[in-house]
Amino acid sequence: MSLDRLIEKIVEKQNPTVAGLDPKLDYVPEYIKAKAFAKHGMTLKGAAKAILEYNKGLIDALCEVVPAVKPQVAYYEMYGYHGVKALYKTQEYAKKHGMYVITDGKRNDIGTTMEAYATAHLGRVSVGEKQYEPFKGDALTVNGYLGSDGINPLLKVCKEYDKGIFVLVKTSNPSSGELQDKKIGEKTIYQTMGEMCKLWGKELEGKYGFNGVGAVVGATYPEELTNLRKQLPDTFFLIPGYGAQGGSANDIAGAFNEKGLGGIVNSSRGIMCAYKKENCSDRDYAGAALREAIRMKNDLMSVIGKIEL
Amino acid sequence: MSLDRLIEKIVEKQNPTVAGLDPKLDYVPEYIKAKAFAKHGMTLKGAAKAILEYNKGLIDALCEVVPAVKPQVAYYEMYGYHGVKALYKTQEYAKKHGMYVITDGKRNDIGTTMEAYATAHLGRVSVGEKQYEPFKGDALTVNGYLGSDGINPLLKVCKEYDKGIFVLVKTSNPSSGELQDKKIGEKTIYQTMGEMCKLWGKELEGKYGFNGVGAVVGATYPEELTNLRKQLPDTFFLIPGYGAQGGSANDIAGAFNEKGLGGIVNSSRGIMCAYKKENCSDRDYAGAALREAIRMKNDLMSVIGKIEL
């Protein structure tokens, strides 16, 4: 089961961190942009090539220490289809370097269309007699607002190709409570969504106590996170909101069980822009990213202790 | 305001139909595939070129009668970045032919990331000193599960570039009620989402009684549709579920006000695959699509009567 592979990588590296790859062009060092623009012009293609180069440097630096990357699709779509090609190449490069790839797309739709998204991001598509992987993720983030028939096609593809999903439950943003915290009888909407994840997860059993339907739960709501861990003992959490958004290691402590398992914590800007914060040369951007990743690992592990299967 | 332009086109054509462009390769006539595969091989690129050719034929045939197209992004992502290029080229071609383009992406994320999606699908991105439109939609479908700070960046871009959004309220799929029909006090979740649309819509005033924040409301739930029209008199509806999914003209009657305004009804498979149902030559696929579009227009207009500003 796909999330088992993620868990094994987390244990191997003793690091429950996923590096978010959200490459705004502003984050990319000037020398990389200059090279790409010289070759491809100040074009969407030039921007996409610069982003890919930047990502490759980050992956080279991080792959020994960080078990996973999470490219956020929006930042690639921002550079049109050239950007989407950079997404594919980034996924491919990360996988070649042994990293687990979570595609952060928050896709959602009705059943027939969700089949298309599942095929696109987790499956294989037939073209005449040939088959292709349109994208290269190991897992995809999704939104469950449409209910089971928007999720079932994903479960089918996850089984067939050994992939996973993370469903939005309690998101990290300030206004997440506007809808998610509202109460349906005794339970909030996000708790109800959590129950739905539990149900969907029964289709994808794992060997380390967690199933293949994870939940996105923000580090910025520590109490909710702790309570969701109790409510959903078999659900693995993808935890955004650490660092730039305000969440600390203490805030996420409640996500982990006595074995130190239970979630993976995302940092995007914190790692990608570490060279700006360090104020080092931008040619050392990947080195700065690694130093920040190690600092973050130590920060998280100081709270978690040890991670074991 | 962007939806005003859509409304003007609907009135001009006396047709509240949007043609969904969800081009599965199975829908594409053999002769188009054969030509594309001969040139590009049985590859994702070959598939994408075939889809684009197919879409162009549909747009050529439909543009005089149908005011808008709605490409569903999933069906393009299914063919990787080549497919996403076909999406861009399809949008561009439809706009050149005077059609309003609704990009059906159901995007959603936290504020900073939503800025990236807004830029990608409705705005312009800077690359050095240059600016580009990454995609070519006039409006984008979005999911409001994350609340206001996932929507506000869209409103800003909509104002700046004269674009619109449609927020998922009550979707057309069988399981939509699992979450959406649950009650928060007196109101269902979808009604609560409707109220949020109302609030967001205040930012984008229109001149024909409707604001720039539309709502997606399925034809498959006629009672809910009729009640939502009363609850949200200023909200324009994008109505999927007609035809292949089971909704009839009578089912959508409640969406329209006394002027015949209030919504646009989507048909995807019904129009795209009309040649299969007609059992005519696949070389006449575009002709069959037009005949079905005219039949659908007459069907809808028999219920609506006349549409006026």
Instruction: List pLDDT tens digits, range B241-250.
Output: 998 788 899 9
Flag whether A308 is in a domain: no
3-state DSSP of B58-91: HHHHHCCCCCEEEEECHHHHCCHHHHHHHHHHHH
- Asked if residues B120 and B84 have their Cβ atoms less than 8 Å apart, the reply is no
Most B-contacting residue of A35, A87, A173 (CB-CB within 10 A), to test interface: A173
A106 is catalytic: yes
Residue B245: the pLDDT is 83
Catalytic residue list of B:
106
Question: What sign has the CA pseudo-torsion B294, B296, B302, B304?
Answer: negative
Does B127 sit within 8 Å of A46, measured CB to CB? yes
Give the tens place of pLDDT for each residue, A149-192.
Answer: 999 999 999 999 999 999 999 999 999 999 999 999 999 999 99
Q: Is the pLDDT of residue A246 over 90?
A: no
ipTM topping 0.90:
yes
Distance between B309 CA and the closest CA of chain A, angstroms: 33
The region that residue A113 occupies, defined by phi over 0 for left and psi between -120 and 50 for alpha, beta otherwise, is: alpha
**Kind plus residue range of the DSSP H or E element containing A298:** helix A285-304
Q: For residue B237, give the H/E element and its range.
A: strand B237-239
Residue-level pLDDT at A123: 98
Whether A15 has a pLDDT exceeding 90, the answer reads yes
* Chain B positions in Cβ-Cβ contact with residue A24 (cut-off 8 Å): 116
Cβ <8 Å between A79 and B125: yes
Q: Could you tell me the residue range of the domain that residue B263 belongs to?
A: 2-303
Q: What is the pLDDT of residue B236?
A: 98
Cβ contact, residue pair B149, A175, below 8 Å? yes
The residue count for chain A:
309
> Confidence class of residue A244 from pLDDT cuts 50, 70 and 90?
confident
| CATH code of A183's domain | 3.20.20.70
Q: Is position B309 within any domain? A: no
Domain count, chain B: 1
- What pLDDT does B244 receive? 79
CA B16 to chain centre: 12
Q: Which helix (H) or strand (E) holds B103?
A: strand B100-107
Which of A111, A129, A173 is the closest to B149 by Cβ? A173
- Note the pLDDT of residue B161: 97
Assess if residue B104 is contained within a domain: yes
pTM assigned to the model: 0.98
Catalytic residue of the set A106, A156, A198, A276:
A106
Q: Which two tokens stand for residue A159?
A: 């089984």
> What's the confidence (pLDDT) of residue B243?
85
Tell me how far apart the alpha carbons of residues A71 and B83 are, in angstroms, rounded to a whole number: 19
Q: Could you tell me if A199 and A215 are in contact, meaning their C-beta atoms sit under 8 angstroms apart?
A: no
Alpha helices by DSSP H, listed for chain B, are 2-13, 30-40, 44-62, 74-77, 80-96, 111-122, 152-161, 177-180, 189-201, 222-231, 249-252, 269-272, 274-278, 285-304
A49 located within any domain:
yes
Tell me the one-letter amino acid at A171: T
Cα A155 to the center of its chain, rounded Å: 18
| Residues A7 and A236: beta-carbon distance below 8 Å | yes
Residues in B touching A74 (Cβ below 8 Å) = 107, 109, 113-114, 116-117, 120
Give 10-residue mean pLDDT values along chain B (309 residues): 97 98 96 98 98 98 98 98 98 98 97 97 97 98 96 97 98 94 94 97 96 97 96 98 89 96 97 97 98 98 96
Distance of alpha carbon A51 from its chain centroid, rounded? Answer: 18
